[in-house]
Amino acid sequence: MECVRIEGRAYVGGRFTRVKLGKEGCRTLQFSNDYLILPGMVDLHVHFRDWGLSHKETLTGGAAAALAGGVVAVGDMPNTKPHIRTAELYRKRLEEGSKLPVTYRLHMGVPGDLAELDAAKPGSVKVYPEDVEAYGWGHVEALMRRCAALGCVVVFHCEDPAYFKGPERPPEAELRCVERVRALASLTGAMVHLTHVTLPQTVEASRGWATVDVTPHHLLLDVENCRDPGLCLVNPRLRTPETRKALLAALAAGLVDIYATDHAPHTLAEKQSSNPPPGICSLDVALSLLLALWRRDVITLADVVRLYSHRPARLLGVNTEGTFVVVKLEEFTIRGEEFAGTCKHTPFEGFRAFGRVVATATKGRIYLKGEGVYSL
Ligand code: NCD
Ligand code: ZN
């Protein structure tokens, strides 16, 4: 494989500097100041599906979407078919993920038998509202105790199903879950991460005992500006414009720890059906949506790197050294048909974004968009 070397302007350690990346003797690619080099991004919440759900997305398709979006490491979710609740399935999936061109981590599903945790030693466990329904809060408490002892992070999709009203999932379900988990965290000493939080009150309430992430869709889409019944359906639900803007204000105030997509692919036919499944595709463009907030002065470039690289890398235990992404500092319009993954539809269709990803480098290779793969 031919090797290349990259020269250009990078944002490193909080300042802009010119860098040369790669080995001497390789063909040099010069990037002008219309481009910017950033550390590789890390998305701690994706659904790469595969297994029984490969018509929605595959591990390779998901990895292609990640590389297209400047993402070099992912935290995959366990709600595959079957759901990953045993050490055996956990190891099998990790083994498959380790072959991907991106760094692969997996959040284990809640096991019925907690001894599975001792055998699997996962870095993190993902708790769904469905797990609370199936096993009860008592089991969640026991799981948190075990994780406190083993050092795993307990990642919550925090909505208490007791407050669902039929198909409706009101904000109250999130508020009540956060209260409950806060009490359990102090009781058990478990490390807690609250994923895809939607309310500014949750961000506020998490201080000191949990980390939180927010998604591009809860920051940018709401029940007014996103109305397609299929494409806009997601769990937790999109909120009112007021709530969304308050969440964005919390991000701008530096109160949010992490940005993560919850990239959750379904087929277009499924999303357009009379009973669409929840989930939004955004992995290809999540970095550019975040950079658009920098462009609009809502957040700083330091925030971008902290939210979508440093902090999630720390949570997943991933080293991003030697990884980078090159973006072209221009505005562009999002087109799902240009996505590299299996999923090519998105409620962000037609949205303006900033910072087009032109190259992603990780695991000793660089993926140049429209050109191919080279060694570094
Ligand atoms: C998730 C999925 O499709 O896997 N969907 C979503 O809207 N976030 C599952 C879920 O969280 O219910
Ligand atoms: Zn999810």
DSSP string spanning 151-206? T-EEEEE---GGG-BTTB--HHHHHHHHHHHHHHHHHH--EEEEES---HHHHHHT
- The atom number, within ligand 1, closest to the CA of 266 reads 3
Q: What is the predicted pLDDT for the residue at 306?
A: 98
Q: What is the predicted pLDDT for the residue at 282?
A: 98
When divided into structural domains, the chain yields a total of 1
pTM more than 0.95: yes
**Beta carbon of 201 within 6 Å of any ligand 1 atom:** no
Give the separation between CA 4 and CA 26, rounded to whole angstroms.
5
Interval between CA 275 and ligand 1 midpoint (Å): 14
Q: What is the predicted pLDDT for the residue at 196?
A: 98
Amino acid at the residue 92: K
- The atom number, within ligand 1, closest to the CA of 278 reads 7
- The atom number, within ligand 1, closest to the CA of 265 reads 3
Amino acid at the residue 148: A
Mutate to test the pocket of ligand 1, among 45, 79, 177 (most ligand atoms within 8 A of CB): 79
Interval between CA 265 and ligand 1 midpoint (Å): 9
Question: How would you write the pLDDT of the chain (376 residues) with one tens digit per residue?
Answer: 999 999 999 999 899 999 999 999 999 999 999 999 999 999 999 999 999 999 999 999 999 999 999 999 999 999 999 999 999 999 999 999 999 999 999 999 999 999 999 999 999 999 999 999 999 999 999 999 999 999 999 999 999 999 999 999 999 999 999 999 999 999 999 999 999 999 999 999 999 999 999 999 999 999 999 999 999 999 999 999 999 999 999 999 999 999 999 999 999 999 999 999 999 999 999 999 999 999 999 999 999 999 999 999 999 999 999 999 999 999 999 999 999 999 999 999 999 999 999 999 999 999 999 999 999 9
Q: What is the predicted pLDDT for the residue at 207?
A: 97
Which-ligand-closest: CA of 280? 1
**Is 32 among the domain residues?**
no
**Is 292 among the domain residues?**
yes
Interval between CA 188 and ligand 1 midpoint (Å): 27
Q: Residue 115 belongs to what domain range? A: 41-324
**Is 137 among the domain residues?**
yes
The CATH number linked to 236 is 3.20.20.140
Interval between CA 236 and ligand 1 midpoint (Å): 8
**Is 6 among the domain residues?**
no
Q: Is 302 helix (H, G, I), strand (E, B) or coil?
A: helix
Mutate to test the pocket of ligand 1, among 43, 47, 133, 218 (most ligand atoms within 8 A of CB): 47
**Is 78 among the domain residues?**
yes
Residue positions annotated with a catalytic role: 262
**Is 331 among the domain residues?**
no
Q: What is the predicted pLDDT for the residue at 61?
A: 98
**Is 118 among the domain residues?**
yes
